[in-house]
Each structure stands twice: as C-alpha cells, then as structure tokens.
Amino acid sequence: MPETLVLLHGFGGTHRAWDPVLPELDRERYNPLVPDLRGHGTKAGVRPISFDGCVSDVLAAAPREFVLCGYSLGGRVAQHVALAAPDRVSRLVLVATSAGIEAEEDRAARRAEDEAFASDLEQMTIEEYADRWQAQPLFAGTPPEAARWWRADLLRNDPVALADALRGIGAGDMEPLWDRLRTLTMPVTVVVGGRDEKFAAWAARYREVLPQAEVVVVDGAGHGLPREAPREVAAAIQGAGA
C-alpha cells in the first residue's frame, strides 16, 4: 500500500507548486497529499496564521504515519510538524530551507524587513507582488519556463493574506529550531540547489545537528527546486531512507 507523502509549498505559492514534481513520483510507492498553508491559496482566509495553526492543519489532514516534505517556508513548517509529532513522521525531506535565524539581532532585522514588505503587500495588486517577489536576487537565474510557471502559481494568492502570512510565519517571526532538531531520530534528507549559496550554508548546519541526515546537492539549480529540478527533487524524496 502506498505511503502518504505530505508536500508543503513555499511562501507565496500554493499546493500547485508541486505540480511539476507529482508526475515524477512512483504512485505505487507514494500517495501525495498536497495542502495549502494558511494565508495561501484555498486557505487564504484561515486565521490565525501561525506555525501552531499550520501544524494542526497538517496533522489533522494526514494519516497516522506519513512521509513529510517541505520546500522553503514549507520546510520550516515541516520541521515544526516533525517536532510536534515525531512518532507520526516516518521520514523528513527538507528542500531549500532552514531551521531559523539563530542570532537575535539578525532575526530582529529580518522581522523589520518582513514587516516593511508586509505593509507594501497590503497596497499591491497580486501582479505587482509577483513582479517584486520574482525579482529578488535569491531567484536570479531561474529558467524562463520555470519562471513563467511559477508566476502563474504566485497569482493564485491574495496579497493581503500573504502580508498576514509574512507576519505570522515569516522567517523573522520564527524562533530557531536547530537545538530542538537534535532530538529527531527519523531519517532526514536535505536538498539544496548548487547555485543556492545561502541555503547551501544552511545545509552544512543541518549536517552538524542531524548527523543522520543525507544532503543532496542538485547541480545547476537555484532556490526554486520544485519548479527548476522536479525530477531531481522527486528522486531525492524517493531515495530518502531507502
């Protein structure tokens, strides 16, 4: 019987962010469950937008035991889920994500950046948001076809809801989880793009706190792994714990 595979999308996306990956999965092995996170897509109006709320949604939707994979923001949520219910997560796959900003000074600076962007978001159209989000240096080098597909997913959101999400589950709002991760015993795979220098550094940090973790580097890919390298992401998911 196939295992349930819960896939959590990144900030500003929806469950459709996983569309390029789904055809690459072995359906005899996995039954994908692909929810929207609070403040996004079909859950744009669900409040409060918090990590605890997102954890509750995932655990309510998932069966007793499941494989869990999260990308970027979804990876941060996935870590909260794994820590809240480690007996239910059989394997954990973290794609282009981190366990939080460790220095309080840096975290405070990120909170200020997030609040400024959230305030801007409340005045934007969704098209203006998509333009600004895609223009970030983090996403430089995204292949044109991946960028077109990604933009279509960004446009499925509401900018005011995204502003609330940024305030509730943004990187600046999240207390770091690095020390707590040491308690996890399930197999963990960390996936990062070869061009994604910022998150490659986080991958090295995962090696320190999770010595059982496998780190997979996807050569030539940037931060947008599910849309840039869906076959490689699927292979990393299916190789996890094998």
CATH code for the domain of 156: 3.40.50.1820
Share of the chain above pLDDT 90, in %: 98
Share of the chain above pLDDT 70, in %: 99
Maximum Cα–Cα distance for the chain, whole Å?
A: 48
What local confidence, expressed as pLDDT, does residue 241 receive? 42
Confidence of residue 240 (pLDDT cuts 50, 70, 90): low
Total domains present in the chain: 1
Q: Where are the beta strands (DSSP E) in the chain?
A: 3-8, 30-33, 66-71, 89-95, 188-193, 214-218
pLDDT digits (tens, 9 = 90+) for 75-121: 999 999 999 999 999 999 999 999 999 999 999 999 999 999 999 99
Q: Is the pLDDT of residue 42 over 60?
A: yes
Q: Count of alpha carbons within 13 Å of 176, Cβ hemisphere only? A: 18
Report CA dihedral (229, 169, 5, 14) to the nearest 10 degrees.
Answer: -60
Confidence of residue 239 (pLDDT cuts 50, 70, 90): confident
Average pLDDT rounded to a whole number, residues 223-236: 97
Q: What is the domain extent for residue 30?
A: 3-239
